[in-house]
Amino acid sequence: MTTPLPHSLRSDARDNRERLLAVARTTFAERGLDVAMREIARRAEVGPATLYRHFPTKEALVTEAFREQMTACTAIVDEALADPDPWRGFCLVIEAVCEMQARDRGFTAAFVSAFPRAIDFAADRGQALGKVAELARRAKAAGKLRPDFVPDDLVMVLMANGGIRAPSPPASVAASRRFAALLIQGMRAEPALSPLPPPVRLPLSADAGSRR
Amino acid sequence: MTTPLPHSLRSDARDNRERLLAVARTTFAERGLDVAMREIARRAEVGPATLYRHFPTKEALVTEAFREQMTACTAIVDEALADPDPWRGFCLVIEAVCEMQARDRGFTAAFVSAFPRAIDFAADRGQALGKVAELARRAKAAGKLRPDFVPDDLVMVLMANGGIRAPSPPASVAASRRFAALLIQGMRAEPALSPLPPPVRLPLSADAGSRR
């Protein structure tokens, strides 16, 4: 390219990019990730070529669309990890992720999906999960979290919370709050606790969480 | 053909009916109730007219397809209600319905769906839910179930359990067992229990649970 792009054209491109991201967020939030790229383009009123110029793959679109939420998620986990009471920190994570999911199904669907080529997204997720595992270790050491909790249980909680359907977004958030409180009570170390049945590996998969 | 209706023809009709029910059960179990009648007919290798002659509406097909499970469900609730320890009975219901759901998504999807015209099905469901409410009342009176549990929580549990996706049917059952055990622990009346956030009415709807 020899001449610089005219300002208005660069501005158009930026507008398209923002509109595509906004449409992707709304659509993923409503319907999970089971949405064709073509459908995102159609809803954003741009041609497929424009969409693919900005986001060559669905992974790229997902990563960009959820960058802000991933940052928020990381911030929650960091705040929880900094709490001097690890059990309070652990409860904060459960509550916050359930609420975040009730507000935006798309992000959680993205979070539990394996997008092998979404390198940045997967790296951020790996870090967040590692921090939650560390938090769980500390909460167990403090005698507050039941010893048979495993980090995989968090994936189970996310999947389960995602299954709750309420007639409106506020009802969805309210139901998730009650659900999280019940689970937190179940995760608390109590004097005479019956052991849980063995944990199950629930692999992150491209399909998991992308429906409903 | 001048001879009277041969035996084999009546037998064909019966075979078609059984095949349609078997296909409906399998398809609903795999995919919930979001399956067109036409698709059921196609999978059963009969024409749509044959399907509609046996089952004039989807409600009729659903009711017939799940008659056996509804009977099993009623039997579980009756057994639980007959248990002299209402808390043990209550736990049995939670465990059994979660396991039943993990084995067959179709039935639970049918259970939480509002099919206004599926009169028998809705009446059986109403009776089962009434019995669980009675069981919960007794378990609270015995000081075992937390006083802020409401029968609507059972719908929430079913929806949440339905959200758990595992890579195989046995893994799905195992995950549901662990999930049920965690929830039961959370529902237990404990000396110093933080109250739950307020309950949310999760209306039975034609859509609820029919996806995923």
A70-127 pLDDT, tens digit each: 888 899 999 999 999 999 999 999 999 899 888 877 777 777 776 655 667 778 888 8
Residue of B91, B105, B155, B185 to mutate for A, most A C-beta atoms under 10 A: B185
Residues of chain B with C-beta less than 8 angstroms from the C-beta of A197: 174, 177-178, 181
- For range A129-144, the mean pLDDT: 95
The reported pLDDT for the residue numbered A195 is 86
The pair phi, psi for residue A145, each rounded to 5°, is -95, 140
Residue of A98, A179, A204, A210 to mutate for B, most B C-beta atoms under 10 A: A179
Of A205-209, B131-135, B139-143, B174-178, the one with minimum mean pLDDT is A205-209
Contact between A212 and B208 using a beta-carbon 8 Å cutoff: no
Q: What is the pTM of this model?
A: 0.79
Residue with tokens 């017939």: B64
- H helix and E strand count, chain A: 10, 0
Distance between CA atoms of B48 and B78, rounded to whole angstroms? 38
For B3-41, how does the pLDDT look when each residue is reduced to its tens digit (9 = 90+)?
A: 555 566 677 778 899 999 999 988 887 777 778 999 999
Contact between A212 and B211 using a beta-carbon 8 Å cutoff: yes
- For range A171-175, the mean pLDDT: 92
Distance between CA atoms of A19 and B58, rounded to whole angstroms? 41
Nearest to A159 by CA among B210, B154, B172, B108: B172
ipTM of the complex: 0.78
- For range B61-75, the mean pLDDT: 87
Residue with tokens 């029968």: B151
Task: Nearest by CB to B160, from A161, A171, A190: name it.
Answer: A161
Asked if residue A147 has pLDDT above 90, the reply is yes
- For range B135-145, the mean pLDDT: 97
**Predicted confidence band of residue A201 (pLDDT cuts 50, 70, 90):** confident
- For range B190-203, the mean pLDDT: 82
Asked if residue A211 has pLDDT above 90, the reply is no
The reported pLDDT for the residue numbered A12 is 79
* Neighbour-count burial of B137, counting CB atoms closer than 10 A to its CB (0-12 exposed, 13-18 middle, 19+ buried): middle
Asked if residue A159 has pLDDT above 90, the reply is no
Q: What percent of chain B has pLDDT over 90?
A: 46
Asked if residue B163 has pLDDT above 90, the reply is no
- For range B121-142, the mean pLDDT: 91
The reported pLDDT for the residue numbered B205 is 46
Q: How many CB atoms lie within 10 A of CB A143?
A: 10
Kindly identify which residue of chain B lies nearest to residue A208, measuring between CA atoms: B165
Tell me how far CA of residue A23 lies from CA of A73, A118, A186, B198, B199, in angstroms: 21, 19, 38, 33, 33
Compute the mean pLDDT over every residue in chain A, rounded to the nearest whole number.
85
Q: How many CB atoms lie within 10 A of CB B16?
A: 18
- For range B199-204, the mean pLDDT: 76
User: Which CATH number describes the domain made up of A7-65?
Assistant: 1.10.10.60
Asked if residue A161 has pLDDT above 50, the reply is yes
Q: How many CB atoms lie within 10 A of CB A13?
A: 14
* Neighbour-count burial of A117, counting CB atoms closer than 10 A to its CB (0-12 exposed, 13-18 middle, 19+ buried): exposed
Report chain B residues touching chain A, CB-CB < 8 A.
Answer: 153, 156, 159-167, 171, 174-175, 177-179, 181-187, 190, 193-194, 196-203, 205, 207-209, 211-212
The reported pLDDT for the residue numbered B212 is 32
> Cβ(B35)–Cβ(B29) under 8 Å?
no
Contact between A165 and B198 using a beta-carbon 8 Å cutoff: no
Check residue B48 and report its DSSP letter: H
Residue with more model confidence, A29 or A17: A17
Kindly identify which residue of chain B lies nearest to residue A32, measuring between CA atoms: B212
The reported pLDDT for the residue numbered A101 is 85
Asked if residue A139 has pLDDT above 60, the reply is yes
Q: What percent of chain A has pLDDT over 70?
A: 88
Task: Nearest by CB to A179, from B156, B165, B205: name it.
Answer: B156
* Neighbour-count burial of A51, counting CB atoms closer than 10 A to its CB (0-12 exposed, 13-18 middle, 19+ buried): buried
The reported pLDDT for the residue numbered A180 is 96
Smallest CA–CA separation between B1 and chain A, in Å? 52
Contact between B181 and A165 using a beta-carbon 8 Å cutoff: no
The reported pLDDT for the residue numbered A96 is 93
Kindly identify which residue of chain B lies nearest to residue A189, measuring between CA atoms: B185
Asked if residue A31 has pLDDT above 80, the reply is no
Domain definitions of chain B by residue range:
7-65, 67-187
Nearest to B163 by CA among B33, B36, B32: B32
CATH class of the structural domain A67-187: mainly alpha
- For range B155-177, the mean pLDDT: 89
The reported pLDDT for the residue numbered B1 is 46
Compute the mean pLDDT over every residue in chain B, rounded to the nearest whole number.
85
Task: Decide whether A7-65 matches A67-187 in CATH topology.
Answer: no
Residue with more model confidence, A212 or B40: B40
- For range A22-51, the mean pLDDT: 89
Residues of chain A with C-beta less than 8 angstroms from the C-beta of B201: 171
Tell me how far CA of residue B149 lies from CA of A96, B95, B145, B198, in angstroms: 22, 16, 7, 10
Asked if residue A205 has pLDDT above 70, the reply is no
Residues of chain A with C-beta less than 8 angstroms from the C-beta of B177: 197
The reported pLDDT for the residue numbered A210 is 35
The reported pLDDT for the residue numbered A88 is 97
What is the four-CA torsion angle of A135, A141, A142, A143, rounded to 10 degrees? 120
The reported pLDDT for the residue numbered B207 is 37
Nearest to B174 by CA among A163, A197, A194, A153: A197
